[in-house]
Amino acid sequence: MSNDNHSINEFDFQLICEYFSSTDRQGPGSEACTLKAFSYLKDLPNNPHIADLGCGTGSSSLAIAKHNKVQITAIDLFPQFIEKLSVRTNQTILLGKIDTMVGDMGKLPFEKESFDAIWSEGAIYNIGFQRGIKEWYHFIKTYGYIAVTEATWLTNNRPKEIEDFWTDAYPEIDTLPNKVRQMEEAGYKNIITFVLPEDCWTKEYYIPQQKAQEIFLQKYMDNPTAQALITNQRYEAKLYQKYREYYGYVFYIGQK
Ligand code: SAH
The pLDDT of residue 39: 98
pLDDT in tens, 27-57: 999 999 999 999 999 999 999 999 999 999 9
Cα 156 to middle of ligand 1, angstroms: 28
CA–CA separation, 145 and 236 (whole Å): 31
In 3D, which of 26, 107, 10 has the Cα closest to residue 61?
Answer: 26
Q: Quick one: pLDDT at residue 136?
A: 98
Q: Please report, for residues 72, 99, 138, 204, the alpha-carbon distance to residue 45 in angstroms, rounded to integers and kept in the order given.
A: 14, 19, 19, 31
pLDDT value for 116: 98
Nearest CA to ligand 1 atom 19: 126
Give the residue-averaged pLDDT of 18-35. 95
Distance 80 CA to ligand 1 centre (A): 11
The CB of 77 under 6 Å from ligand 1? The reply is: yes
Q: Alpha-carbon Rg of the chain, whole angstroms?
A: 18
Indicate whether residue 204 lines ligand 1 (CB < 6 A): no
Q: What atom in ligand 1 is closest to the CA of residue 127?
A: 22
Which of 82, 126, 149 for a ligand 1 pocket mutation test, highest count of atoms within 8 Å of Cβ? Answer: 126
CA distances from 4 to 1, 10, 225 (A): 8, 10, 15
pLDDT score of 93: 84
- Mean pLDDT score, 152-179: 96
* pLDDT surpasses 90 at 214: yes
Domains of the chain plus CATH, in order, are 27-197+245-255 (3.40.50.150)
**pLDDT value at position 8?**
53
Phi, psi of 227 (to 5 degrees): -65, -40
Among 25, 77, 88, 127, which is best to mutate for testing ligand 1, by the most ligand atoms less than 8 A from CB?
77
